[in-house]
Structure 1
């Protein structure tokens, strides 16, 4: 297990020690077939460095020409995922992290919670990949009589419980056999917001969700749509590619077929409301981060001088008007984009049949 100290000097030394061994060891062997349908007709859709945090390494996204599934290939190993996720959620924010926070806004959380109002009030709700528990905190305003629990790979879930945002905190993956068995049949609703694309095996996550749902319970899923036109137009600057964190991008038809095969009844799909107005802003932010990387990142060989800090701060301020214009365009065009193939996210609500 990779462990990085907290002090700046120690963290830099630890990162550089890991990187001295090379980044190739963080990747599994390259696949020659699609992990979703098994077909061998693949094409490379994207080859990119880490545009968000600028850690060393190159990442490839391949696409299956038969089913349209897009996936990181070669995929990161468990050790690689641990390395590239170090510090990722602990407040080390850059341009892209501030933009991506838009998908976790209270307005979006409230809208997702309201999507479940057409069904009977749930007694229990499990939010998978809950992080700090911001969704349950907001969803409780819409469902005041529901008990919200959370599961997450990081200690953020325990902090969420301490803050009173969730009632029970489960540290780990829902696919862990012991956890899945302990939670079997406990929940009326399971939600997965921008979670499946981060997991090594999305199918296994869906099976685990099925196991913890009560008969008649509902699964609520939101994921990036690889069919979004921005993925083609913006290329590696499309923020939803999310390399190296995103391992899978699943077309809507594939996920619907999988849910049906597991015994779910698909209740609704929606591209309009889940659309996140951040494609142009995200592209500009990634470009700015590329031109003005974090010079104090612990994986850089030397810490910056004071002059370098001052110059970067001044140049960063120059980018603000460009980001503001991109954000204004994203929001102004959102009503159009959300109704077309420019929509970047889709939502599925499925019911576990009795």
Structure 2
């Protein structure tokens, strides 16, 4: 075993007692009471949409999504409590998962530039930009190449935003909940962005009101979220990556979000589907299925480290799946991506809205 692998094994072993203590009484306490009404429109006409498990970290627990038959809003029901959010986020973006996620997000420069370029037709020279849910600040770093005269600040509730400030990716870091920080940010920003952030929030309407407060009159709000109306959502079922349970709590059809923005005093000036599509759906589905089938790799929420035989079986199964992963990648990038919007397969949408 290499020194790096040994260090990871030792780190997992050190974390195991705390995780086992947290799981001693099961996972039911991580879930709030089940809702009987839609959190978006208050309708009581709810239907089950999806039942799944944590397919990325494989932490214990089962999760359900319901769909409102009146407005089409999808939401996790029952929803994670604050304690549950802390448990399932732990070691995903930070801790054990920090290096992996930083590498994943850091290699997406072209996508980040595309997000910044979406604003250019509406404001080519914003002075101040707040990126909410900035993570490690990689978007802000890439966006500076598109808007060199813009000061980029970042906001997040994880320590990633502080790492971003130390690395110079953001000019100023705010750590905490956006609605709680919004009063001190009133009318401060030409642009506020929420890229794949709103679906993580416990109360999307409160987040949108916070954005309205932070954007100056005449400024812009840029939102990008998974598209629950994508055909992939039904074709791939639980293997559709944007479900991302249990982290994603709300899925808003684009018509719903447009109406809510209008009610808050915004005017939607652009709606994009092809541009924010991330061509990874088939690749991710194959990987999630392979990873689910193979024996688990070591993690502190497992009672003990998997033995050598299980680790060998896992390696063999994943190697056997390499041809399928390559095929899925080629289909995603070259066959489907050019036609994704026309086929209704875009997995995300982006709105640009101007505050009146």
TM-score (norm 1): 0.93
CA contact (8 A) 1:67 1:254 kept: yes
> What stretches of structure 2 of length at least 5 have no aligned partner?
1-9
Structure 2 residue 153 is the aligned partner of structure 1 residue 145: no
* Structure 1 partner of 2:224: 222
Structure 2 residue 293 is the aligned partner of structure 1 residue 291: yes
Aligned-pair CA distance for 1:104: 6.9
Aligned-pair CA distance for 1:7: 3.5
* Structure 1 partner of 2:241: 239
Partner Cα distance (1:249, 1:237) in 2: 16
Aligned-pair CA distance for 1:293: 4.6
* Structure 2 partner of 1:281: 283
Cα deviation code 1:312-343 (max 9, x no counterpart): 23332222221111011011211111333111
* Farther off after superposition, 85-94 or 224-233: 85-94
C-alpha distance 192-291 of structure 1, shift in aligned 2 (>3 A): same
How many pairs align? 343
Which of these residues, 103, 113, 118, is aligned with residue 115 of structure 1? 118
> What stretches of structure 1 of length at least 5 have no aligned partner?
1-5
Which of these residues, 293, 317, 329, is aligned with residue 331 of structure 2? 329
* Structure 1 partner of 2:4: none
C-alpha distance 157-14 of structure 1, shift in aligned 2 (>3 A): same
Partner Cα distance (1:19, 1:202) in 2: 29
* Farther off after superposition, 219-228 or 339-348: 339-348
Aligned-pair CA distance for 1:102: 7.3
Cα deviation code 1:82-133 (max 9, x no counterpart): 0001101137569xx88x9479711111111111111240000000000110
TM-score (norm 2): 0.92
User: What RMSD over aligned residues (CA atoms) do the two structures have, in Å?
Assistant: 1.9
* Structure 2 partner of 1:48: 52
Cα deviation code 1:14-55 (max 9, x no counterpart): 111111111000111001110000111111000111111111
CA contact (8 A) 1:271 1:339 kept: no
Q: Secondary structure at the match of 2:285?
A: helix
Q: Secondary structure at the match of 1:68?
A: coil
